[in-house]
Amino acid sequence: MSALDAYYDAVQGAAAALRARDVGIPDVAVVLGSGLGDFTARLSDPVAIPYGEIPGWPASAVIGHAGRLVVGMLAGRRVAALSGRVHAYEGHDFKTVTFATRVLGTLGIKVLFLTNAAGGINVAFGAGTLMLIEDHINLMGGNPLTGPNDERFGVRFPDMTGVYAPRLRALAIEAAQAAKMTLGRGVYVGLHGPSYETPAEIRFLRTIGADAVGMSTVPEAIVARHMGMEVLGISCITNAAAGVLPQPLDHNEVMAVAARVRGEFSALLEGTIGRL
């Protein structure tokens, strides 16, 4: 069996296992970044499945990632919430990093919300700002579509003009306005990690047009578009990037800020889902 067929069969096997757990076809899937997993508590009639019970699904090992899939109802929609993801900096290749996205697309999910904790490059974004991702820059050192293309998933050269769907962004803006919350907008740049960026790197990233920086989201967005899914991206700015403030960066700070804004973050997601 070719590597292409083996990967395809693994994705199909994971999707079949989830169908057997009667998760149905959710209207939307939400990938929850570091410290943002409490959103799952808003789902009614939840079915929680640890990642370890889904064949082939990689385990999440980062602090702040619970490592389970929760499917339930919210705002009249069936929602699949992924509490945690895996990252390339953990040693995974990009096909493993995007395995969950492939499974979600195979289940028939057409809308994917990608969220993350990010460092603020734009000095107008203080800690706790929620930023709507309008576009991204891929500086992660690779692309999940590298290698032979599997036409069963998507075309060889997918268009990336509108990675983050204008329709979904408009709904998120409406939801923020209705909740009287401030919603930033900007460009997210993905780097490999796990080390935080140097001040010189942040100056470079600001020069090329980035507003926030993180270590996830970009591969998932690329694969989702490859499969024809609509994507919405939201960053929680949990800290100023290196050199913006005269203090070192700390993952504990990321977790603390994410916990502080989780109510506002969850309200934004719920308001957007209710408008789908």
User: pLDDT tens, 195-210?
Assistant: 999 999 999 999 999 9
Catalytic residue flag (residue 65): yes
* CB-based burial label for 86 (10 Å; 0-12, 13-18, 19+): buried
Has 253 been annotated as catalytic?
no
**Rounded Cα gap, residues 205 and 121, in angstroms:** 8
44 catalytic, yes or no?
no
Q: What is the pLDDT of residue 33?
A: 84
Q: State how far the Cα of 86 lies from the Cα of 83, in Å rounded to an integer.
A: 11
Locate all alpha helices (DSSP H) within 159-250, ordered by sequence.
Answer: 166-178, 199-207, 218-226
Tell me whether residue 90 is one of the annotated catalytic residues. yes
Catalytic residue among 83, 122, 239, 266: 239
Q: Which residues of the chain have pLDDT under 70?
A: 61-66, 241-251, 254
Catalytic residue among 87, 140, 230, 241: 87
Residue 2 falls in the annotated catalytic set: no
pLDDT of residue 64: 52
Backbone φ and ψ for 255, nearest 5 degrees, come out as -65, -40
- Is 221 annotated as catalytic? no
| Cα angle 69, 237, 85; round to 5 | 25
What pLDDT does 34 receive?
72
pLDDT at position 20 = 95
Q: For this structure, is 53 an active site residue?
A: no
CATH architecture of 3-274: 3-Layer(aba) Sandwich (3.40)
Annotation says 89 is catalytic: yes
The pLDDT assigned to 46 comes to 94
What integer pLDDT is reported at residue 247 of this predicted model? Answer: 61
Give pLDDT, residue 245: 61
Q: Which listed residue (134, 165, 181, 251) is catalytic?
A: 251
pLDDT of residue 255: 73
What's the pLDDT score for residue 22?
86
